[in-house]
Amino acid sequence: MPELVRQELWELIPTVIYFVVGLVLFGLSVWVMEKVTPFSLRKEIEEDQNVALGIVIGSALIALSIVLAAVIK
């Protein structure tokens, strides 16, 4: 195996690890958000068609993603 390919593969490992850590932290944050709210987020957004809650949760997830990306770098 050429040395350049081997080096690229070794540099890929931290990227995959950071990706998995980011997904786990994001999933954990969504789970905590679900547990903290006194109502079911899924029911409010899907069944009751609560658009305002969907916008708030979506913006919170985007903000959380930005923070996680900055922390993992």
For residue 13, give both structure tokens. 């490992």
Residue 69 confidence (pLDDT) above 80: yes
- The predicted model scores a pTM of 0.73
**Confidence (pLDDT) at 32:** 93
pLDDT tens digits, residue range 7-34? 888 888 988 998 899 899 889 988 998 9
Q: Return the closest-CA partner of residue 44 out of 30, 57, 26, 31.
A: 57
The contacts of residue 8 (CB under 8 Å, 6+ apart) are: none
**Interval 44-66 mean pLDDT:** 92
**Confidence (pLDDT) at 73:** 73
